[in-house]
Amino acid sequence: MTRKSSGRPESPSDPSSQALGDLLLTSTLLEAVPDAIVAVEQDGTIVQVNSQTETLFGYRRGELLGQKIEILVPTRFRVQHHEYRASFAQSPKIRRMGAGLDLYGRRRDGSEFAVEISLSPVSLGNGTLVLSAIRDISDRKRIEQELRRAHEELDRKTTQEIGEYRARLASIIDSSADAIIGKELDGTITSWNRGAEAMYGYTAEEAIGKNISFLTANDRPDEIPTMLARISGGERIEHYESVRVTKDGRHLHVSLSISPIRDHGGKIVGASAIGRDITAQRRAEDHLRQAQKMEAVGRLAGGVAHDFNNILGIITACTELLRDRIDSTGDSGQYIGNIRKAVERGTSLTRQLLSFTRKSSLQPQLVDLNVRLKDVVKLIRPLMGDDVEIAVVPRGSPAVIEIDPGQLDQIVLNLAVNSRDAMPRGGKFILETAAVELDEVFTAQHLPMKEGHYVLLAVSDTGVGMDQATVTRIFEPFFTTKEIGKGTGLGLATVYGILQQNGGHIWVYSEPGSGTTFKIYLPSAEHKIADKTAILAEPSIARREGTT
């Protein structure tokens, strides 16, 4: 892979592939990940790092870009690392955190520290980048060593000294930010540190004496018994990823390391578990995979739209020539009219594909969402039918955004059509608006959103709802759950593309039989209005048809 003097990969010929590269190298997604992230080319050259990398290794970003990754590897391991990197380049594959390797990093001052590293190869148009997530586990190593040493000392010390060492052990355990839990072989909790309190929300008084299974998700009934059976056999469990439920009902992705606890005679009497919350890391990985998938689909859709446009242009030209040469009052004129209508439908589909791939032209304006929705509702009332009740609930005024008004109409109309099809026996269609300020806690759970002021448009229905498998695919072009001929699968893909163009985000909440809610967040543009009480009059709304 050739390189420019800037230290960044050359732009691939495909603009959508470049968009994927830009996402990986410049997106705030890297900054949202709590671990140090280093993007490396196949030849080992560093092309991007996040601020956590600067903090962890002591280098400034400019000192790392363009350097080989071995600059962050201890000198004694560099030859071995170079050989491993060459082998990895031949057969790249994802390697998760905690792969059972003893790894070390080297800071700018020459000091070394224990690390865990996950590798995620990402294919681009002109090569492959490797995203390395690096985590300092020095504290964990220290705690594990202290725990082992304390247990060994406890075995050797007299009964009089046990109290002193138990206090020392408790101090070590409580100093950890990880959840450290002791339990008997039947799962009864015997110890619960402050890290566990912070992670799960239960105090020690609430947890001790309960069975550890009260933290597990309902879909994992056999997980705890299986793990305790392995511990009873003397096995250690390292970096086991699972899901735990907090006191307030949140589901956390956790990485567990579990060791057997032995009495003075060497008999296994319990288990000690160290749990780390990896929810943010897993969420960032999921968003990265989704972004890669949507970019890949976008490249395909863009190519189809381009070729389709060329074909439609030829058909249109030929029909114009034929119309000038035949009697337009006969059957031939009717056939040509049918061809023209088919071309117009094909042109409409192409336009929606271009909306998804972010290649259509925009005419953004300052729009008060509350005002605009009053006009859009007039269009969707006949579309929804008499058996669907439409409600508009503005929870803040004004709700000013900057967007092409036609695109805003298209978003609402496409969601309305989707809701109408989900309510074959009627129901309720609700449009809610609000001005919201998103903080760090919310955005950390909704990557890659940034903190700031947004306008929320929540679109809800009381329809049949969707399962999780459907929710994960609804924004893909041509994906539809409708019968053949009753939907193109482009409606929600168009909504997704429009929001991407305008810096917006969309989240879906749905369960079978419980309806669906789409929550759309668009950046607030209220600060762009000199006089917040005088917004320019809206242009007349054009009549459109939604697509699903």
Best CATH choice for the domain 361-548 from the list 3.20.20.70, 2.50.20.10, 3.30.360.10, 3.30.565.10: 3.30.565.10
Q: pLDDT at position 27, please?
A: 56
Q: pLDDT at position 547, please?
A: 47
- Please, are residues 71 and 38 in contact by the beta-carbon 8 Å criterion? no
Q: pLDDT at position 145, please?
A: 86
Q: pLDDT at position 399, please?
A: 87
Q: pLDDT at position 74, please?
A: 94
Q: pLDDT at position 6, please?
A: 39
Per-residue pLDDT of 194-243, as tens digits, reads: 899 999 999 999 999 999 999 998 888 889 999 999 999 999 998 899 99
pLDDT by residue, tens only, the chain of 548 residues: 333 333 444 434 454 445 555 555 555 677 878 889 999 988 889 999 999 999 999 999 999 999 999 999 999 998 888 888 888 888 888 877 655 678 899 999 999 999 998 888 887 767 788 888 999 988 888 888 888 888 777 666 665 566 676 777 777 777 788 899 999 999 999 989 989 999 999 999 999 999 999 999 888 888 999 999 999 999 999 889 999 999 999 889 999 999 999 988 889 999 999 999 988 888 777 766 766 666 666 666 666 776 777 788 888 888 888 877 776 666 777 778 878 887 877 776 676 666 555 555 567 889 999 988 988 888 888 888 889 999 999 987 778 999 888 888 889 988 998 899 899 889 999 999 999 999 888 887 777 788 899 999 999 999 999 988 888 888 877 777 766 556 666 778 888 888 888 889 999 999 898 999 999 999 998 888 755 554 444 554 444 444 44
- Which residue type sits at 512? P
Query: What's the CA gap between 398 and 152, in Å, rounded?
Result: 67
Per-residue pLDDT of 169-189, as tens digits, reads: 777 777 788 899 999 999 999
Q: Which DSSP string do the residues of 47-69 spell out, in sequence order? A: EEE-HHHHHHH---HHHHTTSBG
Q: Name the nearest CA neighbour of 458 among 498, 491, 431, 481.
A: 431
CA distance from start to end of the chain: 41
Judge residue 168's burial from the number of C-beta atoms within 10 Å of its C-beta, 0-12 exposed, 13-18 middle, 19 or more buried. Answer: middle
Strands 427-438 vs 388-394: parallel, antiparallel or unpaired: parallel
Which H helix or E strand runs over 445?
none
Query: What's the CA gap between 249 and 488, in Å, rounded?
Result: 38
- Please, are residues 241 and 276 in contact by the beta-carbon 8 Å criterion? no
Q: pLDDT at position 440, please?
A: 84
Q: pLDDT at position 284, please?
A: 74
The residues, any chain, with a CB within 8 Å of residue 409's CB and separated by 6 or more, are 372, 376, 379, 541, 542, 544
- Which residue type sits at 542? A
The residue extents of the domains of the chain are 15-135, 140-277, 282-360, 361-548
Task: Give Cα separations from 167 to 128, 160, 254, 264 (angstroms).
Answer: 52, 13, 27, 19
Q: pLDDT at position 58, please?
A: 94
- Please, are residues 231 and 258 in contact by the beta-carbon 8 Å criterion? yes
Q: pLDDT at position 21, please?
A: 54
Q: Which residues pair with 242 in a beta bridge?
A: 254
CATH superfamily of the domain spanning 140-277: PAS domain (3.30.450.20)
Query: What's the CA gap between 367 and 536, in Å, rounded?
Result: 8
Q: pLDDT at position 291, please?
A: 65
Q: Which residues of 41-53 are buried (b: 16+ CB within 10 A; e: fewer)?
A: bbebbbbbbbebb
Q: pLDDT at position 330, please?
A: 66
The residues, any chain, with a CB within 8 Å of residue 376's CB and separated by 6 or more, are 408, 409, 412, 413, 541
What's the predicted TM-score (pTM) here? 0.48
CATH no. of 15-135? 3.30.450.20
Judge residue 156's burial from the number of C-beta atoms within 10 Å of its C-beta, 0-12 exposed, 13-18 middle, 19 or more buried. Answer: exposed
Question: Same topology for domains 15-135 and 140-277, yes or no?
Answer: yes
Query: What's the CA gap between 325 and 321, in Å, rounded?
Result: 7
As a three-state string, the secondary structure of 64-99 is HCCCEHHHHCCHHHHHHHHHHHHHHHHCCCCECCCC
Query: What's the CA gap between 150 and 63, in Å, rounded?
Result: 42
Encoding tokens for residue 462? 């009381």
